[in-house]
Each structure stands twice: as structure tokens, then as C-alpha cells.
Chains A and B, each alone.
Chain A
Amino acid sequence: MKLSLSIVLLLISFQFGYTQQTTTISGQVTENGSNLPLPGVSILIKGTKTGTVSNSEGQYKLNLPAGQQTLIFSFLGFESKELKVNGSSTLNVSLSTAANALNEVVVIAYGTAKRSNYAGSVSQIKSEQLDNRQVSNISSALQGLAPGVQSVSSSGQPGTTASIRIRGIGSINASSDPLYVVDGNPFSGDINSINVNDIASVSILKDAASSALYGSRGANGVIIVTTKSGKNSTDTQISANFSTGISRRAVKDYEQMSTDQYFESYWLALKNKQLTNGLTDARARSIASQNILTDLGINPYGANYPQPVGLDGKITAGAVPLWNDSWQKAMEQNALRTQADLSFSGGTDKTQYFISGGYLNDRGIALGSGYRRYNARVNLTTQAKNWLKTGLNISASNSKQDYPMSEDSNTANVINFSRSIPSFYPVYVRNDDGSYRLDANGQKIFDFGDYRPNAAIPRSNLAATVGLDKNEIFKDNVSARVFLEATILPELKLKTTYSGDYLNSNTNDYANPLLGESAETKGSISRSNTRTYSWTWNNILTYEKSFSEGHHLSLLAGQEMYKYNSKYLSGSRQRFGLPGLYEPDAAAQLNDFGGFSVDYTLLSFFGRAEYDYKNKYLLSASLRSDGSSRFSPQSRWGTFWSLGGSWRASKEDFLKDLPWLSNLTFRSSYGAQGNDNIGVYYAYEALYRINNNLGENGLVTSRLATPDLKWETNLNFNVGFDFGILKDRISGTVEYYNRRSKDLLYSKPKAPSTGFTAIDANIGALQNTGIEVQINAIPVQTTDFRWTVSLNASHNKNKITDLPQNNLISGNKLLRVGGTIYDFYLREWAGVNPANGDPLWYTDDANGHKVTTNNYTLAKQYVQPSALPYLVGGITNIFNYKQFELSALLSYSLGGKILDNDYVALMQNGSNPGAAWSTEMLSHWTPENPNTNVPRLTTDNLGWTQASTRFLYSATYARLKNVTIGYRLPKTLTDKIGLQNLKFTLSAENLLTFYGHKGMDPEQTVNGATYYRYPAIRTFSAGVNLTF
């Protein structure tokens, strides 16, 4: 319909073109600066759908109807221009590139600022950088896009978020998560509920000047998400996106032994154990051959080979495994990802609106996992009176996450399960000859493996039960921000904003009564519900005035209150009478019911003053005082502040005339921010946890009194400069920071014999220093081809500068002055004793010399490198050729270590029969192979898989996060069919990974620990985006 209408319009304009009074207008479009002709520029007569496109020389010609005097010139990557013809017949135009960082408006605390005269350190990510990404939430999209940001997606499970660390780790025990601010107010909802396609920009506030105004909660940086708003336009703009794709594992899992290799190796372990027990070699061989099948519980070689491993330790001649089942394959599913979004935006002078709706369905690669979300948003602002403005942003989302257990050592972990069972245990029940046993309906029967040894998870077959069981998380999130802004005097404004975030999270864990572990107990169900409501109400007064001779003053004063309430309920029942019933009522036995709630309040007062002179010199200062309900009345108030200044040197007379320098601005700031997020909400009284006993009230000590516990403070120094050269063909920012955290909120370990394992204390100081570089360049720009490159790199050095007692050991890490907070502290692997195959570790003898021992408990822990990388960042390349666009984002993380405990599960020395075995175990010690890094096999636990440097691997990696090829239909074509824009894309997420330790997904947690995580997934998808 739209198409035919356009054709009619075209026809009309052609038909009547000659009869009406028309003038012809022509000219050339060039690029500002280079003066190269710009082809393909769209030229539209304002208020009509009539227009043309510049030719290869940048020239255009257009018939202009009477009364139509304004032309709009627009071209991708350039700023649009609207020009009046004013009766002339020639109009030459030069367009400037749009990416002019200087005039960029950045969102900052309680307002916006022009990048060019802002003293704080802010990185901004715009919606175009997020458009092509196949990610479900903003935290997963930030990796590699902004300097100073370390983003780690430790789980590939759809619907999970990434951990974000801004400028290093500022706390030891208190949270190091940044504060999320959405549309002006702190956000406590589910970050997954925000549709990435609704986001207009993301600002990352990194230094004191930018984030101190969020004083109480800005210590770890602030991420400000601003959603799209409507624009003043006559037509409502409708935009639709659709993409669909398929996911796979991004990296392959650890390689495992074949059945033959496994049987021969385990035979040897059995034999060696019997030798230890004092038996003769012949007896030991015979017992090993006899016992291997009972230990492993199965004979994959069939009944014809009752003793498949002979006395020589080799597979009997002729014996071949009758099956070789991949549990990994059995535990995978077709992972489809579909996303569809529709939005409407528009408005008048007074009222603007943005309305959107979205759908996402992301099935994970692991059986039974997935994420489905519906979301809707309305953003509305209106100028009610000339002095009164009001607005409402409201968003709602509903999601269901199918979350079969992962990130857990539990055997029901779908990732771990598929890795734990060797391939000689069949997925489906087999007959002795290896053929499938079929049920009455001719169907294969899942094998639950009653006979499997414990390591191979007997009586369980998740491939069968994951579909029957349910592990669901339902989330409903409603977030609203409403404001009223009154102009009291022209310079004086009062804005009051109320925001509420409501999140209801409901989990349902149902174990079926028919098959698997829960069958004996007839199934079980547990439900939990967490209802969280938090609100922020702030009142902000601003005064802004320009004085004569270029003085400009801006003042802000405000008050804010934040309340958080979370109510938790859970219950469980077991014993379902009948299958097909999924609600608790259907289960006969009540197992548990409980719940509690949590309250948290913050009250804050704050102010900021900014002064600038001729846009050249700028000074800013802020002060904020916060009271937190976490601390005792006498120590709950903390005061935070910042000072900052900037100097736009390129505006000075002595630099003004340098032709190659388009911008040079120096900035610096210093200030303090706070952190009260110690993880508990009541951090001052001695507490007794409620622990009832058999119907009687019970209490047990849980916390020691800490009346003096107070805010952790972050002192943040930042200095840097922004530059632009060759008319901003090359631009960038270089910054240095020194972030010192003092009075760290720390759970100081106590001797467990005192009855407490830790006490909360403000102890020690931590320092993060770093350099961040961001460079944007356009190395090539011709008429048809444009190459944009954007590169960022951040180096951070984390250092503990003070501790009340040196050498605090926390698990596998050591905290010490001069070290980082994630320095591994491990027993040092000294290799395998070539004489007897024992594992060896180092220890110190009486004289302090390093000697080896085969007794793990006698081995000494030594300081090892840190888990933290020394350089993280990303490189984005965008190539535009005519209507094509190719973009690639490579993110990297260099340095750091990971202790791979997942791998350890595949490295037992024979003490855990039936446990899957890595191929590396084949290089175990034997008298013939004395020089190796894997000890001898025996069924005794040699303790060698315990934490040591043996399993410490490099964490360096690079990942091609995203590659997208896009094709945009030429304007001439889209105009004809009545569309403003039509674009097709093919994209790949996590396309390639470059790393060292095969099998381990290099993207693990920030502290370098693995924990049976859902691996990263690679998604290929195709999409279409249209606007009309």
C-alpha cells in the first residue's frame, strides 16, 4: 500500500511537474575539509517524499515545486544539513562527518554536558555500537567497547549478566560492581529487563568528578543507561527489527580418552594399587584384570570378552568397544535465537514519545536451557506549561529463564554432567551385543546407569530428565521514572524525580516422579519468590547563569532518599501421586517453608558548582553526604566530594592557528566516593541467626559486633587529555588514574576455633593505577569506501598498600602489601618424581632451601602471579563500501592466571573409577616414561589434583566478539517503496577465540576461578531492520 502510494505520488509529481511552476536546482555535495565529492547523498525536499541522490561526482539536480524551498541533505556517517534555496539555481553543500566527538553531548550525573567542556572522565557508547550485537543485555555488550571497563561474561547461559569492573577492583570483600543508573535514577531492577535496542546511549563514569555526585554508591564507577526518546517530527517513525540465528559452543570442551585408552589406564591403576598392598606382580595383574569390570560397572566390549583387559594390561585381541556415546551431544540442543522489536517515536514541540515492544527467545546450547523475554516501554515528556515540564518513562518486562543447574559442583549441573561421564557408559540402554534395547513401542530407553560408579553419576540421566524436570526463573520487572521540572526563575529550576523498580523473581524447581534420582522419593518441587521494590526520590535545584564577558556559573543542590525492600519466601514439598502434576498442591509431604525480608535505606544531600570562562577554563566541585542503614547510628554518615578542572588549550591563541590541531583539552580531577556494600544489610550489632530446632525456637551466633564499622572510601585522581587532529580524522583520549581505596570493608578471617571464621572490619588500603587510551581514526575515506577504526586499551595495576596484618590467606589467594588482591597462593608443583612417579611439590627445609616433597600437606604455599590481566581492551573496525558495511569487534585480555579446577575433575590418578579422563592422563608416569608431568596411576588418591600451580594456566585471550556484514538498500530504492531505511545484516557473535589451554573457555571469573560454568556460545544470525 505504501509502495503504491509512493508510485502515485511520483507519478503526480512527474505529471504535473511541467504544468506547475517549478525551478530546477543543482549543485555538488562535497565532504567538508577534504572537498572530495560525496556520491549517494540523499537530497530530499522538506515536507515531501520527493528527492534525489547525488551521482558519482557528488552532483545532483532536482525540480523544485513552487513554495518548496528547503532541501535536506543526509548521508550515513555525516551530519545532515537543512538548507534554504532562496531562489538561486545552484546550491553547493559540504557535509561534515558526524562523529565529531567534541560536540557530543554526554550523559553525566543528574544531567548532561558537552564533552568539550567537561572535567570528568566519561566514556560513552552509542546505540549504533550496540545495534548489531546479538546480546540479551547491556552488561554483555560492553566488552571491548570502552577503555577502563573489564567485562567478563563468565556464563554463556542465556539471560545471565556479565561482571563489570571499572578501573580495576576497588574492594576486597565489599562489592566491586558499578552502580547502574537508568534514565537519571539509580536502577535496582533486573538489568536483563532492559532491551538493548531501546538504549540510546551508555555513559560510563570513571573518575571522581563525574561520579562523586553518586557519592555513596559511585565508588566502583557508574554506568548510566539512557533509553531512547521521541523527536520532534511530523511523521511518526516506525522502526522494526527482526533477527534469527543459531548458537554453538564457542570453544570445544576438554579432550577425553577413548574407551580402549581408559580401560588400559584404569587396569594399570588397579595393578599398581595391588603392588602397594604388597601383592606379587602376577597376583596384582590378575586382580586388576578381574576387578576392572566390577569397578567400572560395565563391559563395553560385550559378553564375548568377559576379561577385556588381559594380564598384559592390553585390550584383548579382537575386543572392540561396541559403542562410543557422546554425552555432550546428548546434552545439547538446537539453539535458536530469535529477536523482534518494534518501536514508534515522534512528537511535537511540546510532547515527545517513544513506544517500543520487543520479543526475545534465546535457546541455549545445553539441553533445557533458554531465555524468553517480552518487554515494552513508553517514554513520554511534555512541556505542560511554559514553566513546567513533566515526563514519565515506564518499562515492563516479563521473562522466563530455563536454567538447568550450571556453575555448581552438583552432579545435576548440565555442563559438568555431560563432561563427567565417559563415552563407554551408554546414553540409551544397550543389549550385550551393543544394539539398542527397545521398549514395547520400539523406542530407545534412556540408561540411568544404576551400575555406574559414583564418579559417573549413577541413577541419573540428565538427557532424559532435563526435559521432564523444570528449573525455571520467572521475572517480572516494572520500572518507572516520573519527573516534574519547574522553572521558578529563568535561571532557577527545581526538578523532582521519583523512580521505582519492581522486580518479582519466582523460581520453580520441579523434579519428576518417574525417572532419575527423584523417582525413589516420587518427585519434589521447590518454589521461591523474591519480591523487590526499591524507590528513589530526589529533589534537585539548579541555578545556571551566564554573565558578561564569558563567565558562566552552574549550581546544583539536591536531596535524595533511597529505599530498598526485598521479601523472600520459599517452600518445598515432595511425593507426587501422579505424573503430569506440577504444582505444590499435588505433592503430599511438606518439607520446608520459610522466608525473610530485608530493608535498606540511604539518605543523601548533595551539591555541585561549576564555573567556566569562555568555554576555555572550567572548574567544578561537588559535595555529598550519605547516611546508610547498614552502619551503626554513630558511624553511618559519610561525606564525599570532588574537585575538577579542564582547560581547552586548542582555544588559546597560540594553538588556535595550528592547521592540523582541531582539539586539545586537558582535564584533571580528584575526589572521594564511598562504598557501603559489604554484602550484609545489618553491619553493626552482634547478631544471632534464627536456627530453630524441632519445633522450638533456636538462635546461634552469626556475627560479632562492629559498632565502629564505617564507609569504605575511594580517593580517585584522574588526569588526561582529549585530542583531535587533521579535522578529527584522528581523535582520542589518554587518561591516567590513581584510585586509592581506604578503610576497606573486609571480612577479616578469624581462627575458626574462636567460633567465628571472620569479622567485618575497615582494614587496609588498596590502590589501582592505570592508563587508558582510546583512539578513533578514519584511515581511509574515499567517495565509495570508508574505514573507521576505534581502538582502546586499558592497563590497570592493582596493589594492596596497607593491611593490619601481613599475609592474609583467603583460600587460594594471598593478600599482602605490595601484591594484588587476586594473587594466587598455591603449593608449587615440582613435577613428577622420575624414580617412582609420585607427584612432587616444593617446600622449604629447615635452612630455608627449596626442596621437594610428595606429601601435599607438607608442601608450602608460595605466592604466584595474579588472576588480573595487565591489559584489556578492544579494537573495532568498520568498513563501508557503498551500501555495504562490515564491522568487527575484537576484544582482548592479556595477562593473568586461571586456576582450572574444572580440568582437575578429569585428571584424577585412578582413585575415582568411572570419572572421565583427559587425554593428558595418558602421559602418566611409568618406569619407561619417567620424565613426565603426570604421576603414576593407582587407585590411592595421591592428592595431586589438589590446588597447585600444576593447574594454573594463562588467562590471556582474544575474542572476535562480533562480526557483522550489513547491506543497506540505496535510498532511491527505499524511497520508491516508501521506506526510510532497509538494512539486512549477517552477524556472528564470539566467532573466534584465541587462547592457550584447550578445553577451558578463557572467559572465567574476574578472580581466575573456574566453576563448571556454562561455556560461551557462538551465535550466527541474520537480521533485517526497517524504518518507515
Chain B
Amino acid sequence: MKSYIRITLFAAVLTLVFTSCKKELTTAPTNAVSENQVYSSADNIETVLNGTWAYMNDTFFTYANPGYTTILRTSDAMGDDVAIITNKYGYRDAYQFTQANNQTRLNAMWTILYKVIDNCNNIIAKTDAASGSEDKKAQVKGQAYALRANSYLNLATYYQFSYLKDPQAKAVPLYTTPTVGSTEGKAKSSLEEVYQLITSDLNQAEKLLAGYSRPQASKFKINIDVVHGLQARTYLNMGNWALAAEKAAAARKNYPYMSSTAYYNGFNELSNEEWIWGHGQKPDQSNASYTFNFLDVSSSSSYYYSFMADPNFKTLFDDNDIRSKLFSWDGRPGREGYLRYAKFKFRADQTGDIVLMRASEMTLIQAEAAARNSDLTGAAGYLNDLRAARKANLFDVTGKSKEDVISAILIERRKELWGEGFSLSDILRTQTAVKRLSYNDAKGDPLQVSITTPDGTVKTVAAKQHTTLKFPDGSPFVPNSSYYLFNIPQSELNTNPNLSN
């Protein structure tokens, strides 16, 4: 071949090469979208709300920390009525008040709450400018306000003592605008400031969601009833009894008490008529269901079944109470003598919906608010309303002091809301101490109970009971102990120099 042909060939190749497009250098992800595509329309913004909700509930930090349920389980593990099996994975450090050593958990809870806050801040800040109907915008923004309030309410509840103890106590940092690259960690605000934001957010949500009608099957979405429920909880924390009662009444008006049959169904169905708010689960979205491995003490597929009941808890129920039928002494190998309270059960597909708010909690808020406002008859009325629904013996208010009535209502909260995440928050809110009793005879030996092993043998064994009766330093349980508070994780302390400013 002549050299000029070679040179032509060579030139042709080079031309081909250098025209190869630079536009190839722009690529796009397939499992994420760029922010500027998100905030164009209210419909798109609603996807952020959905995604945030899924993040909050279904993010595993470890198996012991599945999403938002982590906070609920921790709250119960640190209370009076759950006697955690301490050789089981999961919540033993919470139970033993050594959770400060569990950075993974501290980090999980903190991250979940604040990630939700930042996503809500984005929605709140960017919805007005987006296209879409005003109704849709109001709905999305209202839900974002309420969800943000829920995060801050958790933070205010668990990271500082009661608002009623000291509203000026520094609690947690407040963020109300979207985080950008230059955003720095903020200083802690006082409880008063945090509660101001929560009440104002909930007021906004109340207005914005007035016209929103939630699809029946989507109880994981926030509607006005959920907002009222959150308001009731907030005002109860703040000691505003009248508003607490009013909002609680508003929250539950569309939700009758569940039937006895439904009570035995395992607390795993969003469709339960009494549930105001919850989170749905499906086989392909089941991380939150992992919490049933701790809560579910009766299904054979439950992996840890560590949330056993304190035997003293059983004595709080009378025999007519439908709830008392959920107790049984475990007879299976390795767990003989544990007291099961079979309230929570997996569904057949190993999932279970998560309960977040029920009508009976609202009734009890009404009762407590009335009692604290010295309306003892009113309080007893609400209390018995619920007791009747559970076919339990009614409370006779005659001759009872205000303290007696309040005490009865708080006990009813423990009985009705067991395993739903209210134990520690009630202890902190009411500024009382954890009460854990032993279950022994006069000699100090564990009481004996009768169990049936899987092969049908009946035998008598020592009842399993609380194993942690004191703080780790050996001191007795006292009110307002810093052992009750959630610690801010080391990762925040390391990266936020402003925190304590």
C-alpha cells in the first residue's frame, strides 16, 4: 500500500476519534434523582414525604435498631413492665440502663429524627413555589409540619427531663430551614423553644390539613386526627390539661375501640378500627416488622422474643379483663418460666404493621387531663369507658383522692399501652421513678409457677422476673435520673462544636 493511502486512512481514524462526543461525559444515576427535578410540583414533593416516611420507619441501623420502632422499644425496655430476657440480642442495655455505651443505638435514634426534620424542612420551604393545586400543597405542607413536630416531640421527650421540671433546660438543637453544604451544627435550644416550635408546627398542620381526607387504607399518612393526637401528647407533656383533653377528644372521634377478637389478633393490622396512625408493612417493605422479633413472644418464628412481661404486671389485671387472657407461662426449652404477654404477633408472612397512635391512648389522655384538672368524676368516666371496652372491672371513684385517680389512670396506661412505646416517656413526663419489683415468696425465693412443655408435661418452675432492680452503679431508681435520658451520640458531639454554646 502506498504511504499516502496509509496517511489518508490514518487521518480518517483520527477524525472519527476526535469527534467522539464529549457529551458522553454527562451521566445520570438510576436510583436517585437530582434535587432540581424534585421541587417542581406538589405531586413530586409528595414523593419526598413518602420517602421520608419509609426512611424513618424502615431504615435498619442494625437488626436491633430497625427504624423508628427503635425508640418505641427502647422506651418500653427502660420501663416497669417489660422484663427483658437479658441473654437475648437487642434491648438488654436499655433495660439495664447502660444504653449510653451503645453508640449504634444512640446514633440511630438521633439520625432518624433529624433526617426526617431536614426532609420536612425542605418540603416546608419549597412547596409554595412549586406548581400544583392549593389543596395538594396544603396537604403536603401540613403533613410535613406534623411529621417535623413528631420528631421534635420525641427529641423533647427523651433528651431532657419534663417540660414541667424546667422549661429553660437546654434540650436539643432546632433546625427549621433546609440543610445546605454550608449549614453548621446548631446549639441546643431550651425546652420552651422546642415546644414553641412543636405547637406552632401542629397549629399550622391543623389548619393546612382541615380539608384533607385520608384514604381509608393509608393510615400511615398524617391527617387532622393524627395532628390532634400529636397535639394532645404535646399539651399533656406541657401540662396544658384543657387543650390536651380537647385535642384528644378530637383525635379519637372517628375511631371506636377495637373488639376483643381484634385485641387478640396480634396488633399487626393497620386496618384495625381503633388505630389512628400506624405504619404499613409488606413482604418487600418489612424492616420495621423486625421489631416483632423482640415483641412477639408467642410465635415460633419470632427470633428473640425478649420482651417478656414482668410477673407483677399480670397482677394489675382482673380476671374479667380480656387483656388478662394474653398472659401465659412459657414452657418451651430455654424459656421456661417466662411470662408471655402475647399482645404482638407476626402475620403469616413475617410482617406486622406498626401501631403509632390509638383511640384508647386518647381516652386515657382525656382521663388524665380531667383528673389533673381535678374533674375526678369526668376522669373516672373516661377511664371506665375504656375499661368497659376491655370488659375489665370498673373503677369506683367514690372516696378516691386526685392522686388515686391519677395513679389508676397511669396504671391503665401501662396496661393498655404495653409494648407501644410509652413506658419511659410516662416516667419522664410524670417525674417518677422506675418501679421494678421482685416476684419472690416470703423467704425471698422466686415464686413457683406451673408450665406446660411442648411435649405436654406439666411442671413447676421458678417464675422469671426482673433481673435489673437498680441502676448499674448500684443506686436505687429515683425520679429524674439522668439514666433515663437518651444521650446525644458521640458522632454529634464530635462534629458539632456549637452544641453546648
Contact = CB atoms under 8 A, between A and B. Distances in A.
Given A486-B6, A486-B10, A591-B283, 12 more contacts: A294-B464, A517-B303, A561-B24, A629-B24, A633-B25, A633-B26, A686-B36, A693-B50, A754-B185, A755-B117, A755-B121, A913-B87
Nearest to B454: A450
A658 interface: no
A563 B10 contact: no
16 contacts: A290-B462, A453-B87, A454-B85, A486-B10, A521-B350, A539-B14, A629-B24, A688-B34, A688-B51, A692-B51, A694-B218, A694-B280, A752-B491, A753-B173, A754-B179, A754-B185
Contacts of B472: 940-941
Nearest to B466: A277
B323 to A, nearest CB: 27
A113 interface: no
Interface stretch (A182-190, A593-601, A663-671, A875-883): A593-601
Interface in A741-766: 749-757, 759
A763 to B, nearest CB: 12
Contacts of A312: none
B282 A694 contact: yes
A130 B147 CA distance: 62
A706 interface: yes
Give 5 closest A-B pairs by Cβ, nearest first.
Answer: A755-B118, A751-B185, A698-B51, A453-B87, A698-B50
B492 interface: yes
A997 B85 CA distance: 35
Contact of B24 (A295, A603, A693, A759): A603
A21 interface: no
Interface stretch (B94-102, B194-202, B248-256, B410-418): B94-102
Nearest to A912: B87
A869 interface: no
A941 B93 CA distance: 8
B89 A699 contact: no
Interface stretch (B328-336, B359-367, B368-376, B384-392): B328-336
A939 interface: yes
A34 B173 CA distance: 82
Contact of B181 (A273, A601, A706, A755): A706
Contact of A751 (B181, B487, B495): B495
B335 to A, nearest CB: 9
A940 B467 CA distance: 10
A494 to B, nearest CB: 5
A452 B118 CA distance: 44
Contact of B38 (A279, A628, A699, A914): A699
A693 B92 CA distance: 31
Contacts of A559: 17-18
Interface stretch (B69-77, B108-116, B128-136, B206-214): B108-116
Contacts of B52: 698, 700
A702 B173 CA distance: 21
Contact of A682 (B27, B55, B118): B27
Contacts of B98: 940-941, 943
A699 B301 contact: no
A823 to B, nearest CB: 15
Contact of B54 (A276, A294, A691, A706): A691
A589 interface: yes
Given A283-B444, A596-B30, A750-B495, A755 B467 contact: no
A753 B185 contact: yes
For chain B, the bracket of interface size reads: 35 or more
Interface of A: 273, 276-279, 283, 290, 294-295, 297, 385, 387, 450-455, 458-459, 486, 488-489, 494, 496, 517, 520-521, 539, 559, 561, 563, 574, 589-593, 596-601, 603, 627-629, 633, 636, 681-682, 685-694, 696-706, 749-757, 759, 809, 856-857, 911-914, 939-941, 943, 946
Most interface-central of B6, B87, B107 (chain A CB within 10 A): B87
Contacts of A488: 3, 6-7, 10
B492 A752 contact: yes
B33 A688 contact: yes
A753 B496 contact: yes
A704 B118 contact: no
Contacts of A698: 47-48, 50-54
B442 interface: no
A693 B33 contact: no
Q: Which of B10, B175, B284, B469 has the most CB of A within 10 A?
A: B284
Given A539-B13, A702-B32, A755-B114, A601 B100 contact: no
Contacts of A273: 467
Contacts of A755: 114-115, 117-119, 121, 175, 179
Interface in B275-306: 280, 282-286, 300-301, 303-304
Contacts of A290: 462
Contacts of A912: 87
B25 A757 contact: no
A809 B494 contact: yes
A753 B175 contact: yes
Contacts of A278: 469-470, 474
A385 B2 CA distance: 12
A833 B274 CA distance: 55
B491 A704 contact: no
A704 B180 contact: yes
B115 A700 contact: yes
B377 interface: no
B186 interface: yes
A629 B27 contact: yes
Nearest to A280: B444
Interface string B472-494: 10100000000000010101101
Interface in B1-46: 1, 3, 6-7, 9-10, 13-14, 17-18, 20, 22, 24-36, 38
A684 to B, nearest CB: 9
Contact of A941 (B31, B101, B173, B220): B101
A696 B186 CA distance: 34
Given A561-B24, A681-B29, A749-B491, A705 B334 contact: no
B118 A701 contact: yes
A297 B51 contact: no
